[in-house]
Structure 1
Amino acid sequence: MTRAYRICTSCVMDTSDRMIRFDDKGVCDHCNNYYCHTLSNWHTDARGRQELDRMVSAVRAAGKGEDFDCIIGMSGGIDSSYLTYIAKAELGLRPLVFHVDAGWNSQVAVNNIERLVDGLGLDLFTEVINWEEMKDLQLAFLRSGVSHIDAPQDHAFFATMYKFATQHKVKYILTGANLSTECVRNPVEWMYYQSDSRQLRDIHAKFGSRPLKTYPTTSILWHKLWLPYVKGIKVLKPLNYVPYIKEEAKALLIERFAWQPYPQKHFESRFTKFYESYWLPKRFGYDVRRVQFSSLILTGQMTREEAVAELEKPPYDQQAIGQEVEFVANKLGISIGELESYMALPLKSYRDYKNQRQIYDLGARVMRVLGLEIGGKR
């Protein structure tokens, strides 16, 4: 039975999220989770600053005598760029800027990374993923019919960073993940967990054509248990402890570093731009702008009326989408017709392939009980 369409009266999440629930006032569970759980555990005032100061002291102590005291994974996007600025200019840390090149960097992203690194006097380490393996894995995901075709790129980013930290005995990884612009998370049906190596291997085994000899992999147990509790490598989210207003951060970066903005969050990657603006909404009806705008609505950075007006516009540039499709097809070494044929495949989800969803659900419950994780549901 088809569910009647409904949209939240507070944010702009709607029944394109099949698991969404509404209360008697029409407010969705994303919003209620934010008001009932996230707000009470998220502090950007003096309490947050005290916690941040403790973090900074620990990072400095761990890196004493070393060339750098932490690593920051940087994509060139707004969150990681602003984090890099905060870490060096305001917190006085000595980060190594870490970038993973999976073959899809936009020129704007390359420019932004260089401008931040040069402007702040930092060192940049770039790890290049084997393109033939990355291409084969991405094609496998396209052929599988699932929605989360960006998982190979995201998986490689995290796995490479964790591997580097382990090899070089770096105790702290700083990430731009934050509640200010990401308190509403993408539903798991839209974007399944990118770190599920069991699913990644299963899809590649069924649809790939070459062995993954050098492609880096991680796993939920490795980076959630082994790294933090055995190896002592911790992932920190400093932006959760300072006031972070997206437009103000953007203005600062533009003024001080000639940083170039993107039309939408995550568009620093050409593949992610194609995936989030075209593939997801056209093939599955999932518009990630709903998630992004809802986060900004809840944190007071956007009105619901503004979000509704933006959502009336197409998620992609209708004049340029043909060129984007052609670029992606050429990059993957296939015809436009073949790429478009994947758009017509039967719709699949992570449930259609081997996965570790139960482990993720159990871990999330434990983390919440222990107060180690706050934020939106998936």
Structure 2
Amino acid sequence: MTTVPKVFFAKWKKREFEKRSVFGRAQRKVKHASGKEVRTAYLNVPNKPDYRRCSRCVLDTTVSDIWFDAAGVCKYCQIHDEMERLHPLENMEEDLGRIVERIKKAGRNNTYDCIVGVSGGRDSIYTLYLARKLGLRPLAVYFDNGWNTDVAVSNIRKATDLLRVDLHTVMADLDEFKDLQRAFLKASVPDADIPTVYAIHSVLYEMAAKEGIGYILNGHSFRTEGTSPISWTYMDGRYIKDVHRKFGSGVVRSFKIMMLPYLLYYSFVKRIREVRLLEYIDYNKKKVDEILARDLGWAYYGGYHHKNLYTKFFQSFLLPNKFNIDKRKTELSALVRSGQMTRAEAIAELEAGSYKYDRSVVIYAISKLGWTLEEWETVYFRPPRSHRDFKTYLPLIRFLRLPIWLACKLRILPYILYLKYAS
């Protein structure tokens, strides 16, 4: 970690920063920059009269776009059930064999037959491990945004060495990337971590096109991660460009922000397909941790996506305290639906205490972003906004939902894109 100014520690020790809360009176009225009057989110807790929790998982009315059926089952449980119908466990060996043969056939004349984006986390490293076990020839691609922990970097190095996989590292320009991150924080939206996620997707598609590789293996599993609510996490290239234009400076040159025309070109002209390999297996986190530790010397980093210090700051501190978003609910709900945890256990974990954060990581993040504590407070206490306050492709996506549905059915696009954004 870099050195943090002593004044940060002194002020934080006095808890000056925590004297005010973003959540004032329930449903406190504020105004957006646009002048529109809105009501901020407020801390929904079980004793509030309008609070409601899904009867099957632990997602609740802190998710603004949630809805429940007559049995009290939420929208995201129904998305899970649709994904289970598409990837039934009883057919997993047959389906997995078919997709692996398709990947091998498409890449038989290339050095690599697929690309795997690696971050050092459980999901991406196990995807790489599984690809090799299945006889595939992956190229590992690592996007370095300057915030990864030593544990994550070590996990990547050990995995690629032991599995004998070539590693290609794409380095972001750190000043340029921090400007993009600062822009999202100034925009006061709960999507401030998407520059990294979207940059990884852009880099993977660009590398696949450059190398003539037809398949990108994605490490996401709906059985262990679930589907993040669109009101909690939204991303597309137009959204990123609009936020950066309004709150950032300069131009992003160290990687391409993939706009819709690029995605269409990669998908329909270059015929690059994204495969979520973990959807074709019975993926159990505890068992996977044991396998990776035994075979690759993989080490856990202490929390959901905490392999990256910016993500750790964002998910453990900023989201819960500013936006009333606890992303543990998404993962716990997924584990409940897939039978890896009981609903009672998940509720008990949530009610045992709020999302714990490391104060030194928060101070480190503020300092690394180049802000004084006073400058950060100005940003932090801006009224919350959402992707709806910026230009996005979402209206177009919903207008084109039938063609998108067809593209997903033909396996040109991942079906989860239709379920989350277009349905």
1:278–1:315 contact (8 Å) kept in structure 2: no
- CA change 1:200–1:166 in 2 (3 A) is same
**SS at 2:89 equivalent:** coil
1:6–1:14 contact (8 Å) kept in structure 2: yes
Q: Distance in 2 between matches of 1:309 and 1:32?
A: 23
Partner of 1:335: 372
Structure 1 position 289, deviation (Å): 0.6
Structure 1 position 374, deviation (Å): 4.2
Residue 215 (structure 2) pairs with residue 172 (structure 1): yes
User: Which of 1 and 2 has higher RCO (CA within 8 Å, sep 6+)?
Assistant: 1
**SS at 2:378 equivalent:** helix
Correspondences of 1:1-378 after superposition (within 5 Å): 4-35=50-81, 37-45=82-90, 47-89=91-133, 91-182=134-225, 184-193=226-235, 196-223=236-263, 225-318=264-357, 321-362=358-399, 365-368=402-405, 371=409, 372=411, 373-375=414-416, 377=420
Q: 1:56-89: per-residue Cα shift (whole Å, max 9, x none)?
A: 2222223224322211001111111111111002
- CA change 1:63–1:315 in 2 (3 A) is farther
2:58–2:343 contact (8 Å) kept in structure 1: yes
1:145–1:347 contact (8 Å) kept in structure 2: yes
2:239–2:390 contact (8 Å) kept in structure 1: yes
1:49–1:241 contact (8 Å) kept in structure 2: yes
Letter in 2 for 1:28: C
- CA change 1:164–1:146 in 2 (3 A) is same
Letter in 2 for 1:105: N
Task: State the TM-score, normalizing by the size of structure 2.
Answer: 0.82
Partner of 2:11: none
Unaligned ranges ≥5, structure 1: none
2:110–2:213 contact (8 Å) kept in structure 1: no
**SS at 1:99 equivalent:** strand
- CA change 1:206–1:25 in 2 (3 A) is same
Question: Mean Cα displacement is larger for which, 366-375 or 4-13?
Answer: 366-375
1:134–1:215 contact (8 Å) kept in structure 2: no
Letter in 1 for 2:68: F
Q: Distance in 2 between matches of 1:213 and 1:121?
A: 31
Q: Distance in 2 between matches of 1:363 and 1:48?
A: 31
1:79–1:177 contact (8 Å) kept in structure 2: yes
Q: Distance in 2 between matches of 1:280 and 1:204?
A: 20
Unaligned ranges ≥5, structure 2: 1-25, 28-48
Q: Distance in 2 between matches of 1:315 and 1:78?
A: 24
Q: 1:4-34: per-residue Cα shift (whole Å, max 9, x none)?
A: 1111121100000112112333222222343
Question: Mean Cα displacement is larger for which, 26-35 or 78-87?
Answer: 26-35
Q: 1:222-275: per-residue Cα shift (whole Å, max 9, x none)?
A: 32x321221111111111112211111111111112211133221111111111
Query: Paired residues, what number?
Result: 369
**SS at 1:125 equivalent:** strand
- CA change 1:32–1:172 in 2 (3 A) is closer
Q: Distance in 1 between matches of 2:305 and 2:400?
A: 27
2:320–2:355 contact (8 Å) kept in structure 1: no
Task: State the TM-score, normalizing by the size of structure 1.
Answer: 0.91
Q: Distance in 2 between matches of 1:252 and 1:190?
A: 32
**SS at 1:34 equivalent:** helix
Q: Which has the larger radius of gyration?
A: 2
